[in-house]
Structure 1
Amino acid sequence: MTLTRKLLPLLAILATSHAHATDGYFAHGYGVKSQGMGGVGIALPQDALAAAANPAGMGLIGDRADIGVTWFRPQRESEISGVGPGVDGKYDANDAENFIIPEFGYKRVINPDVTLGVSVYGNGGMNTDYKKAIPLFGNTAPRMDLIQLFVAPTATWKINESNTVGVAVNLAYQRFEIKGLQNFASPASAHPDNVTNKGYDSSYGAGVHIGWIGRVNDAVTLGATYQSKTYMSKFDKYKGLFAENGDFDIPETYGLGIAVKATPALTLAADVQRINYGDVDSVGNSVNNLFINGQQLGSKNGPGFAWKDVTAVKVGASYAWNDSLTIRAGYNHASQPIRSGETLFNILAPGVVQDHATLGATYVLPNQSEISFSYMHAFEEKVKGSGSIPFIPGAEANLKMYEDSLGIAYGWKL
């Protein structure tokens, strides 16, 4: 455990680098190939990052290793109205706007029925870096930085010729820092000295991810996956901010997928994924717990971001142009996690994008290794506040965001 605690922070810096994700705060897909197909992967494993979507997929990809990197550029903006001069106006949250997100996967066949591997990936995160102070929050420019890393050792078993199951132990690491929330210390917090400007704090935890992939016939494959809540140690430095004295677990997810070999060259795939943000109090509790019910920040029923559970629908297509070139495209739609009445705290976490269009390609090199590319655009989305600043009647906080990413990965068969 001591070695793990030393390695995970280093891996987090290498593998997440302050990401802001897209299906809420989860990534739209894991692995460059999946990212180019709208994020599908529950029934269509394509590389050694497959365990992130469905651990069973690691049993169907052969011996291989993959390493990649994605350039990610979210554009975040908030607007406050109805408060008065010196507060009303637009606030740019892009003082930091370009992020690099690496990924890594490795898998080996142990015998014809058993495989072992590991996928290392950034689960997601939230980042805002405002260029000026927001007077409702404090006297310095607010900045929030949350990153989450999964290291997922994975084993798969081939039950028969048509069915494979897999299990991954998700070893998770989080790193968090926030600045500029001086106005939410005393008396709003149960621990006023542990709300803001405390530097980075770390959190560790674990969960389980299980999955199944079954081949119905030569054309149709189905998949199912369940990932438990990842129970994390508390952010002690920020026990006055997050509910339950600094608790910030990673929510459970589950999903179904299908892949169809429509022609020898064309594969179509679709996933439906559910992310239960509302089951994590620090994410799901309402700000009204503070302003209406009098529950302080950091208390058992303290306020959070009031995110709703998210359903993400992903569709993608892959076409083998020839023996060397495969091209991909996809679309991803996620339900809106942020209610119009809960935009105030979400100035810090404006994860409002819902629709993502993707493109991708893989080129096989002469040595049979391969290089893959992906592009994603998350279309601009706005959430306008409605009764969103409860202590100032008629005042509102509005959110706006769009994103772009570009990924490249190198994979080789072992």
Structure 2
Amino acid sequence: MKIKIGTALALIAAGSASPAWATDTFTLEGFGAISRGLGGAAVSLDVGPAGIMSNPATLSLSTDSQDPDSNSQLLIGLDMIAANIDAYDNTTGAKAASRTHSRNRGPYFAPQLAYIRRSGKFTFGVGAFAQGGLGSEYGKNSFLSNGLSGAPTGLDISSRMFAFDIPAAVSVKVNDRLTIGGSIDAIWIGLNLNEQLQADQVGSLIGSGRVSGSLGPVLGGIPGLDAVHFGLTRNSFLLNGVDGWGLGGRFGFTYKLTPSTTIGGAYNFETNVADLKGRATLTAVSTVAGQIPLTGRIRVRDFQMPARLSIGITQRFGPQILITAEYQLAFWKHAMKNINVGFEADAGGDINVLLPQNYGNQNIVAVGGAYEMGSVTFRAGGRFASQATPGDTLLAIVPGIPRYHASAGLTYKVGKRQAIDFAYSHAFKERVSNDVLPNTSQPISITHSQNNLSIGYRLSL
């Protein structure tokens, strides 16, 4: 009955989540407030039921650390994310600020929900977590909404991507030193997108063979073509222009080298999500004929979250102090080579566009420490990452560029069976510039900083 309740709660959370802004490109920098307070480190220590998202093998550590009279834990939590994003025209100095222009955007909220239960050497778990996302909202009146002529189009420039993960996991305590675990995950990805390409960007894409279909020559032949706009957005907290379901998963281990030293590792598979499908409007903007909208069906092909390898070590100094360090390698190079869009107009004709991204693999180091003092545990951490987003393919609507984070957190135990976890992390301002076609017409720079709050309630049952 408890497992059924946990599964039901996971599905409810999946249906009620709002989007989260990601900080390791598109992915959150940690799951649960314990990990977040330690800079996102999680694979070699007990981070509670949220460990189901980082290393399922740690679930055995979590049940081992509970009240001896208890054999299960419930986590209910929430991430609250506020991003500060600005785009600049490096030629004119014009600024486009990403703010809350509609119900479609932040501040962003992401749920944390997990239930784990021990049965002998096995620990089973189910959860529902935001895996990551992105969001920008530049509105309709910035320089990003102008055509090549400089004339305003009044068309919206914005984005929202949300990846939601529902894992089912098992962990096995092989012996007093070794635990192993794995999960199979249902993955849902939803995407809103309002993107405008100026006429020279369209020409560059056509010239480089990145546009195909019968509508390509039609667009290229429109007199006075100024811009082309793709609109695939539903202005709602929950609904998206396109979405799709698929599978993911991970496996991992922990091993006690000594009673006070634990190593751990995990591998997250690249997701296998179906093409994201929905309705869209393709609008050609002409200085001669005005705006020419075409409605139709659209799909974003092979949009995936990357594989990730994590290796960590945790050292305890007595019962009160621990230090942990972790290295992660996110395989963005394979997952994000292009944004592949296909559009079929209701009136006939189609167009396929490949927007180059060419992300690089991302190297990440997370470090953290904790000090337990009675019923309160204090935490602090840092996170340092390489830049995955190349400057020459930067899109203003996809500025997943922060690299450095500082975090702090605490846990307050309420008796033996209840605990409240809290963490705050700050992503320091990062700037990336792009001055080449096809992803920008004019030289631009994007800056992005961010504040994240995470709170969780854990109950031993």
Give the TM-score taking structure 2 as reference length.
Answer: 0.77
State the alpha-carbon separation in 2 of the partners of residues 194 and 131 from structure 1.
Answer: 14
Query: Structure 1 residues 226 and 42, CA, compared in 2 at 3 Å: closer, same or farther?
Result: same
8 Å contact kept, 1:75–1:97: no
1:338 aligns with 2:396: no
Q: Which amino acid aligns with 2:449?
A: Y
Equivalences for 1:184-333 in 2 at 5 Å? 189-190=211-212, 195-197=230-232, 199=234, 200-237=241-278, 246-280=301-335, 283-285=336-338, 298=352, 302-322=354-374, 324-333=375-384
8 Å contact kept, 1:12–1:147: no
1:398 aligns with 2:450: no
State the alpha-carbon separation in 2 of the partners of residues 194 and 233 from structure 1.
Answer: 24
Q: Please report how far the alpha carbon of residue 375 of structure 1 lies from its aligned counterpart in structure 2 after TM superposition.
A: 0.6
State the alpha-carbon separation in 2 of the partners of residues 246 and 225 from structure 1.
Answer: 28
Q: Please report how far the alpha carbon of residue 392 of structure 1 lies from its aligned counterpart in structure 2 after TM superposition.
A: 8.2
State the alpha-carbon separation in 2 of the partners of residues 312 and 171 from structure 1.
Answer: 26
**Cα distance per residue 1:90-135 (max 9 Å; x no partner):** 1111224411222011100121x11111132111001001133413
Query: Structure 1 residues 93 and 177, CA, compared in 2 at 3 Å: closer, same or farther?
Result: same
Aligned to 1:121: 129
* Partner of residue 166 from structure 1, selected from 181, 205, 210: 181
State the alpha-carbon separation in 1 of the partners of residues 365 and 279 from structure 2.
Answer: 34
Aligned to 1:352: 401
Q: Please report how far the alpha carbon of residue 240 of structure 1 lies from its aligned counterpart in structure 2 after TM superposition.
A: 11
Q: Please report how far the alpha carbon of residue 175 of structure 1 lies from its aligned counterpart in structure 2 after TM superposition.
A: 0.9
Q: Please report how far the alpha carbon of residue 186 of structure 1 lies from its aligned counterpart in structure 2 after TM superposition.
A: 7.4
1:140 aligns with 2:155: yes
* Partner of residue 90 from structure 1, selected from 88, 95, 102: 95
Comparing 245-254 and 259-268, the one that deviates more = 245-254
Aligned to 1:46: 47
8 Å contact kept, 1:286–1:306: no
Comparing 359-368 and 309-318, the one that deviates more = 359-368
State the alpha-carbon separation in 1 of the partners of residues 233 and 391 from structure 2.
Answer: 30
8 Å contact kept, 2:303–2:339: no
Q: Which amino acid aligns with 2:190?
A: R
Which protein has the larger Cα radius of gyration, Structure 1 or Structure 2?
Answer: 2
Query: Structure 1 residues 286 and 67, CA, compared in 2 at 3 Å: closer, same or farther?
Result: closer
State the alpha-carbon separation in 2 of the partners of residues 80 and 55 from structure 1.
Answer: 45
8 Å contact kept, 1:12–1:148: no
Structure 2 runs not aligned, ≥5 long: 1-7, 64-71, 148-152, 206-210, 216-227, 235-240, 283-297, 341-349
Q: Please report how far the alpha carbon of residue 207 of structure 1 lies from its aligned counterpart in structure 2 after TM superposition.
A: 2.0
Q: Please report how far the alpha carbon of residue 388 of structure 1 lies from its aligned counterpart in structure 2 after TM superposition.
A: 2.9
State the alpha-carbon separation in 2 of the partners of residues 9 and 58 from structure 1.
Answer: 21
Judging by fraction of residues, say which structure has more strand. Answer: 2
Q: Please report how far the alpha carbon of residue 10 of structure 1 lies from its aligned counterpart in structure 2 after TM superposition.
A: 5.5
Query: Structure 1 residues 120 and 102, CA, compared in 2 at 3 Å: closer, same or farther?
Result: same
Q: Which amino acid aligns with 1:253?
A: R
Query: Structure 1 residues 11 and 412, CA, compared in 2 at 3 Å: closer, same or farther?
Result: closer
8 Å contact kept, 1:238–1:246: no
Query: Structure 1 residues 119 and 45, CA, compared in 2 at 3 Å: closer, same or farther?
Result: farther
Question: SS of the residue aligned with 1:157?
Answer: strand
Give the TM-score taking structure 1 as reference length.
Answer: 0.85
State the alpha-carbon separation in 1 of the partners of residues 440 and 128 from structure 2.
Answer: 45
Q: Please report how far the alpha carbon of residue 357 of structure 1 lies from its aligned counterpart in structure 2 after TM superposition.
A: 0.4
State the alpha-carbon separation in 2 of the partners of residues 274 and 338 from structure 1.
Answer: 15
* Partner of residue 373 from structure 1, selected from 414, 419, 422: 422
Aligned to 1:3: none
8 Å contact kept, 2:13–2:113: no
Q: Please report how far the alpha carbon of residue 13 of structure 1 lies from its aligned counterpart in structure 2 after TM superposition.
A: 4.6
Query: Structure 1 residues 244 and 256, CA, compared in 2 at 3 Å: closer, same or farther?
Result: farther
State the alpha-carbon separation in 2 of the partners of residues 233 and 9 from structure 1.
Answer: 20
Q: Please report how far the alpha carbon of residue 389 of structure 1 lies from its aligned counterpart in structure 2 after TM superposition.
A: 3.7
Q: Please report how far the alpha carbon of residue 141 of structure 1 lies from its aligned counterpart in structure 2 after TM superposition.
A: 2.3
Query: Structure 1 residues 252 and 297, CA, compared in 2 at 3 Å: closer, same or farther?
Result: farther
Would you say how many aligned residue pairs link Structure 1 and Structure 2?
385
Query: Structure 1 residues 313 and 298, CA, compared in 2 at 3 Å: closer, same or farther?
Result: farther
Query: Structure 1 residues 8 and 262, CA, compared in 2 at 3 Å: closer, same or farther?
Result: closer
- Identical positions, percent: 22
8 Å contact kept, 1:143–1:348: yes
Query: Structure 1 residues 337 and 53, CA, compared in 2 at 3 Å: closer, same or farther?
Result: same
State the alpha-carbon separation in 2 of the partners of residues 14 and 151 from structure 1.
Answer: 13
Structure 1 runs not aligned, ≥5 long: 1-5, 288-295
Query: Structure 1 residues 378 and 352, CA, compared in 2 at 3 Å: closer, same or farther?
Result: same
Question: SS of the residue aligned with 1:329?
Answer: strand
State the alpha-carbon separation in 1 of the partners of residues 51 and 181 from structure 2.
Answer: 11
Question: SS of the residue aligned with 2:380?
Answer: strand
Aligned to 1:291: none
RMSD: 3.0
State the alpha-carbon separation in 2 of the partners of residues 105 and 223 from structure 1.
Answer: 21
Query: Structure 1 residues 217 and 236, CA, compared in 2 at 3 Å: closer, same or farther?
Result: same
**Cα distance per residue 1:353-386 (max 9 Å; x no partner):** 111000000111136311111111111111133x
